[in-house]
Amino acid sequence: MRKPSPPDPALDALAARAHDADLADDAAEAKAAFHLRMRARGIQDIRVLRAFELVPRQAFVPHRYLDLAQRDLALPIGCGQTLPEPWLVARLIEAAKIERKHRVLEIGAGTGYATAILSHLAADVISLERYQSLAIAAQARLEAQGIENAAVVWGDGLALPASLDPVDRIIAHGLVDPVPDSLTDRLAEGGILVCARPAAVGQAVTRVAKGPDGALAWTALGPCQLQALQPGLAATL
């Protein structure tokens, strides 16, 4: 009986490199397909698409859903909340017309996925999350990604204090009905708020633009389906 050949480190290294190359090819194909789907959904802003490329969604989904991270699906994240489909996150962000100089307030951090994307588009991002456990986990994910110009805070995004400095953009990841004055009051002149609003059928992504005289212009941009944002801080989660 022939003895088995001893391990060959060179062959092992070659096999490992081939395996890594296969994984890299699979990841590249998944990313390309992901962005083709985004474009098919109507997302055209190059800066927004590039920001999505820079943020690995798998770093912001619960471990048990890692195999679904590159699919355009909403995923449960705990506390009865969901991480919306990437195209819908992109639709809200694109509608806000964010510039690099802008200060952005986000309402509903969830896992921190959209917060991370916003960090690549704006100067500063503050995200409010009513569930303390989600806020803590989201902040940890941002830090793990080395993101320094965004922070997640446990807070009520539907009751902004008058002491908060005006912001250029507000993005609310949910249905807001009615839109409280505390949100629009915190918009700077020329500022934009984006959220989901009731429509004749279902919901619509809605952009609220604040003019120089403080007047608000409301524009419905297209259908969506998001959870309604709840006021107050969650008592136990």
The CATH number given to whatever domain includes residue 170 is: 3.40.50.150
In a domain, 24, yes or no: no
> Two tokens at 155?
């807070």
In a domain, 237, yes or no: no
How, if at all, do strands 187-198 and 167-175 pair?
parallel
Span 77-110, pLDDT tens digits? 999 999 999 999 999 999 999 999 999 999 999 9
CB atoms within 10 A of CB 173: 30
In a domain, 55, yes or no: no
In a domain, 91, yes or no: no
CA distance 66 to 29: 17
Angle, nearest 10°, between helix axes 9-40 and 46-54? 150
In a domain, 115, yes or no: yes
Span 165-223, pLDDT tens digits? 999 999 999 999 999 999 999 999 999 999 999 999 999 999 999 999 999 999 999 99
In a domain, 121, yes or no: yes
Residue 184: which domain range?
Answer: 97-224
Angle, nearest 10°, between helix axes 86-95 and 46-54? 130
In a domain, 217, yes or no: yes
Q: How many domains does the chain have?
A: 1
Q: What are phi and psi of 191, to 5 degrees?
A: -75, 165
What torsion, rounded to 10 degrees, do the Cα atoms 61, 62, 67, 72 define? Answer: -40
In a domain, 1, yes or no: no
